[in-house]
Amino acid sequence: MAPISRADLSTNIGLNRSTISSIIQQLMDLHFVQETRLQEDRIGRPAMPLELNPHAGFAIGLEINVDYVTSIMFDFCGNSHRKLHQATNGRMNQHEVLMIAIQMTSELCEFGRDRGYPLFGIGIGLPGLVDPYQGKLVFAQNIGWRNLEIGKIFFTQFNVPILVENEANCCALAEFRYGTAKELSDFIYLSSNAGVGAGILINGELFRGSEGFAGEIGHMVINEEGNLCSCGRKGCWETYVAPQEVVKGVQQELSKGVESRLNEIAGDNRESLTFQQVVDAAHEGDTIAQKAILDLGSHLGTGILNLVHIFNPAQIVLGGAFGESNNLLIPQIKTLMEELVRVRPARTVSIVPSSLGLDACMMGAATLVIDQVVRDPLNWLH
């Protein structure tokens, strides 16, 4: 945010100058706002511009996902000061992963406090069904966690406000503040890690639904006679577009003895094949890999078209694994949508890759905290 004078604030907000001055003084006493250099290039008495004080405090953003934990420290102006990352694996139990997350958070807390920053709070992004109002992970199929009151666990450990959110929503918020969707009021972020989800912004606000579970679009049925999903139903969109489903399809093709560079990559262990290896092989011209990515683009286009008709977003942001393979996927998605389009919204929506990559979730989680402080700075401290 650019520096602004008290007079300009009074004009923009519609409050008189004495009221503005009183509010600003309170914020300055609490170190949320600071004065900067004089504005001497204006007519009349030079004004003393105001700006947010980046040292007012810091927020920590944390992401716990299927095979990694990441965290970031943001100051009050949204500047990143430190990031941490640690890989996990399916052999680790819930307690072990939580201990990694707590240790990582403790390290960032110490880093911030050593520099004199007070800690505003901690935001946590998680895959699956998240109840943001209760600070609870209800169910995460891909990591096998259920009914985890993670907000209470972290509050007991750190004694600061804890905000818990679905990872796709965190990613969408980060793209809105810092990324490719900056300043767009209506867009959808498609998240793709082990599963598929969406963060939906409507009129500049996250759309969570009545219980906070909106955006589980991976379980939108697109073929009632289709593949069996982990949720127990058939034909969920996720069974066609989730990265691990693409890999399974490639593995089945390789088992037929077809020629492919992926045979060399996988060797005797096809189960070790990754989505990124399929993408890399497609870039190198491997026929099997290219067909898998083209099919993925077609299935993505079908589901995206449904979302466009329902929400009429200005933009679709491809995140996670989708974002990493965007130069192969986006042309295919656009081709399919052009073939199927019958109405205006699908002709005008833009489809772009995430500009934040794997940092998006933890950035959004930290931003959850900063946004709450900005909305009500005086009460937040109490």
Q: How far apart are CA 375 and CA 4, in angstroms?
A: 18
- Look up the CATH number of the domain holding residue 277: 3.30.420.40
Give ∠ CA 98-104-108 in degrees, rounded to 5. 140
Check whether residue 268 and residue 368 sit in a common domain. Answer: no
Is 1 a member of any domain?
no
What is the number of structural domains in the chain? 3
pLDDT at 47: 67
User: What is the structure's pLDDT at 242?
Assistant: 92
Are 114 and 222 members of one domain? no
For 112-163, what is each residue's pLDDT tens digit? 999 888 999 999 999 989 999 999 999 988 888 999 999 999 999 999 999 9
**Is residue 193 located within the same domain as residue 241?**
yes
Both 204 and 330 in one domain: the answer is yes
The answer to whether 53 touches 33, Cβ cutoff 8 Å, is: yes
DSSP letter string, 315-326: EEEE-HHHHHTH
CA distance 53 to 370: 12
Rounded distance between C-alpha atoms, residue 41 and residue 232, angstroms: 67
pLDDT, one tens digit per residue, over 49-73 is 888 889 999 999 999 998 899 999 9
Q: Enumerate residues 6+ apart whose C-beta is below 8 A from 154.
A: 102, 105, 122, 124, 162
Digit-coded pLDDT (tens) for 229-253: 888 899 999 999 999 999 999 998 8
pLDDT the model gives residue 377: 83
Does position 209 have pLDDT exceeding 80, yes or no? Answer: yes
78 and 102 both lie in a single domain: yes
Q: Look up the domain containing 112 and give its range.
A: 57-175+360-380
CB 101 within 8 A of CB 134: no
Q: What pLDDT score does 39 carry?
A: 54
pLDDT over 90, % of the chain = 56
pLDDT tens sequence across 65-94: 988 999 999 999 999 999 999 999 878 999
Q: Quick check: helix, strand or coil at residue 178?
A: helix
Ramachandran angles phi, psi of 310, nearest 5°: -80, -45
Q: Which single residue is written with the structure tokens 């009460």? A: 379
Residue 186 shares a structural domain with residue 260:
yes
Residue 348 lies in a domain: yes
**Position 241 in a domain:** yes
Q: Are residues 171 and 81 in the same domain?
A: yes
Averaged pLDDT of the chain? 89
Helix (H) or strand (E) holding 139: strand 136-140
Q: Supply the pTM of this predicted model.
A: 0.90
CA–CA distance, 133 with 139 (Å, rounded to integer): 15
> How many percent of the chain have pLDDT more than 70?
94
308/211 same-domain check: yes
Both 163 and 73 in a single domain? yes
Which pLDDT score is estimated for 241? Answer: 93
Last residue of a domain, one of 52, 67, 85: 52
Closest of 122, 117, 120 to residue 135, by C-alpha: 122
Pick the last residue of a domain from 17, 32, 52: 52
Q: Give the Cα separation of 275 and 67 in Å (integer).
A: 14
DSSP designation for 352: E
